[in-house]
Amino acid sequence: MIFFRHAGIYTIESKLGGGRYGVCYLARDPEGRRVVLKRFRPKMFRENSGENHHEAVILSGLAHPAVPEFLGVLNLRQGYFFILEYKPGSTLRSLLFRQRTEFTDEQIFRIGAQLLDVLIYLHSRSVVHGDLSISNVVDDGRQVSLLDFGLARYMDGGDISADLDYSCFGNVLLYLLYSRYHEQKFGAWYEELDLSDQKKEFLKRLLGLAEAFPDTESVKQEFFNCFPPCDDQSKPPSAQSNALI
């Protein structure tokens, strides 16, 4: 339920989704252009006052078609908002669990390759997304976008490193691979899924179960070796909503 229909000059159309730190709304500006208004939960905003700036600072320094542009802030009676570019599509979570999409090899390759292009861009600017997940990846059937930079940080040479994004990327791939799995073996993923030894080793390296990758370009190169594009011309999954669920 939406408890207000306007936020400054913006007209609220619908609630896209929410999490621990805030709620996202689809809105339009006076010219009719769609934007996302991210409203922080007041209690969390106060408790994390020293951390709230990271997302705005990091997004303001990025310019990539798969990353939402940071458009500004609103400090209103209804709360504190970030104004973000709207990225059309459905989250991978929605495609998997609402639309029950079974992803083809071609679709997995496209999504994986596009996500790696984003990660290469981010890491080249010393940015770790920190929360790459099926809830934060939107697909419109042609291009993915990476949302929610609330946990993004600059690399510090210590705990904040690209390895975190590699592990998250590996988890996303496993979700896509499991979309076609219908048996019940109740074993580890490398026992249940019908994967080549090369794919298993690649995923284990992403997840920290084998030798770590030295850099993101190496991840991309090995991904292309393990998940090459195929001749399957199946249409990509339909994507109509931008629900952040």
Kindly list the domain boundaries of the chain, sorted by start residue. Answer: 6-85, 90-226
Question: Which homologous superfamily does the CATH classification assign to the domain defined by 6-85?
Answer: Phosphorylase Kinase; domain 1 (3.30.200.20)
- Residue showing tokens 């689809």: 26
Give the pLDDT band (50/70/90) at residue 3. low
Tell me how far CA of residue 125 lies from CA of 49, 119, 128, 154, 240, in angstroms.
25, 10, 9, 8, 32
- Residue showing tokens 């079974």: 102
- By percentage, how much of the chain surpasses pLDDT 90? 77
Instruction: Give residue 239's pLDDT.
Output: 42
Q: What is the CATH number of domain 90-226?
A: 1.10.510.10
Distance between CA atoms of 3 and 129, rounded to whole angstroms?
A: 31
Neighbouring residues of 89: CB distance < 8 A, sequence distance ≥ 6? 138, 139, 140, 141, 144, 145, 239, 241, 242
Q: What is the pLDDT of residues 210-236, one digit of tens each?
A: 999 999 999 999 999 999 876 443 344
74 or 182: which leads in pLDDT:
74
Segment 31-53 shows an average pLDDT of: 81
Judged against a pLDDT cut of 70, whether residue 129 lies above it is answered with yes
Segment 55-68 shows an average pLDDT of: 97
Instruction: Give residue 159's pLDDT.
Output: 84
Distance between CA atoms of 221 and 41, rounded to whole angstroms?
A: 41
1 or 169: which leads in pLDDT:
169
Instruction: Give residue 132's pLDDT.
Output: 98
Neighbouring residues of 128: CB distance < 8 A, sequence distance ≥ 6? 122, 152, 153, 154, 155, 160, 161, 162, 164, 165
Neighbouring residues of 129: CB distance < 8 A, sequence distance ≥ 6? 119, 122, 146, 149, 151, 152, 165, 168
Judged against a pLDDT cut of 60, whether residue 112 lies above it is answered with yes
